[in-house]
Amino acid sequence: MPRAVIDAVAAAHVDAAGSPNRGVHALAEAATVALDAARADVARAIGAPSAEVVFTSGATAAVNLVAEAWGRAHVGPGDVVVATELEHHSNLVPWQQLCAERGARLELLRVDDGGGLVITALPARTRLVAVAHVSNVTGTIAPLAELAARAHAAGALLFVDGAQAVAHVPVDVTALGCDAYAFSAHKMYGPPGVGALWARGEVLAAMAPWQTGGGMVTTVDDTVSRFREPPYRFEAGTPNWPGAVGFAAAARFLAAADRSAEPRVHAALVDAVVAAGGTVLGRPEVGVVAFTLPGVHPHDIATIADGEGVALRSGHHCAQPVHRRFGVTASARASVACYSGLDDVEQFARALAKVREVFRR
């Protein structure tokens, strides 16, 4: 996490230690100003108006918000939600639950041997297409323009899970043509426990509140309440304004970061896996390289690599369907950051050599 993010969160606790939108004393006013400024910075990072950005506890909460607040009102018996085999569970399980509860059907777009989506005609009565902008396993970039055109021609929305994309590719939600976009701060060097949902104004306006309580109402009578306009109607309770401030600092950091080395580092990671006799899942374009080594469990790969100072993710990465597609239950995964260099890849290669040495014994 960049020092600028840590400092911004600390300053919010010290200099703006009052609940936003709830008081007229100086600290509450400072917190309100900080939260509003953070929303503007986060919105700017994805090319969106501030009024269309809802703060959440992360991308997972953003997906569930749409599934509950939009899905319950617009998906019914006989309708279809389309997702893909590439999805992180956070962008699959909520749609499974919605379809099961509403009598709808969930269908998945399949994946080719390279990890790319096989785009087919959408079923009749498709109401929403849910897709990861970038897969957290194969590193595949989804063809959002084509999916948006197909979804809109069918009268459906395109919902995008952008958690894996925001730190690696430019994001302009208007240019992408999607209707809603979810992402998390921690994926872009921000603090955990905060994220955002962007959705077109008309989509937000068509969504009733999912969670209710303080801060999202205008008036409360004995038996009925009136709700604030979006985005505030979706932010019940005391907001995590220090997290939002850190989120904004991360967005500013990322906008200024030099990411020109990332493609070279990413390509070198793939080469290192192949040189070690490993198999890469799909043909990763950005961000991540998920792989297996023959005869070695991914947990063992990660444990040995950790002893060499290399942190790898191991397991199914909350994406079991795509692992099944490639005939494995788990993989190890190396992720590229804006601060990664070829020296890191050299250490990664040495770690893989250590794995091979241990398992030759």
Catalytic residue list: 318
Residue 86's φ and ψ, nearest 5 degrees, are: -80, -10
Q: Are strands 180-184 and 157-161 parallel, antiparallel or unpaired?
A: parallel
Contacts of 75 (CB under 8 A, 6+ apart): 81, 98, 99, 102, 104, 127, 128
Residue 193 in tokens: 């426990």
Residue 174 in tokens: 């208007």
- The whole-angstrom separation of Cα 236 and Cα 98 is 22
Q: CA angle, corner 14, sides to 13 and 16, nearest 5?
A: 70
DSSP state at residue 162: -
State the angle between helix axes of 3-15 and 241-256 in degrees (0 to 180), rounded to the nearest 10.
150
Contact assessment for residue 105 and residue 79, using Cβ atoms and an 8 Å cutoff: yes
DSSP state at residue 70: I
Length of the chain as a residue count: 361
3-state secondary structure of 350: helix
3-state secondary structure of 133: coil
Residue 150 in tokens: 């197909």
Residue 198 in tokens: 């962007």
Q: CA angle, corner 198, sides to 226 and 229, nearest 5?
A: 15
Identify the burial level of 343 via C-beta atoms within 10 angstroms of its C-beta, where 0-12 means exposed, 13-18 middle and 19 or more buried. Answer: exposed
Q: CA angle, corner 249, sides to 243 and 251, nearest 5?
A: 105
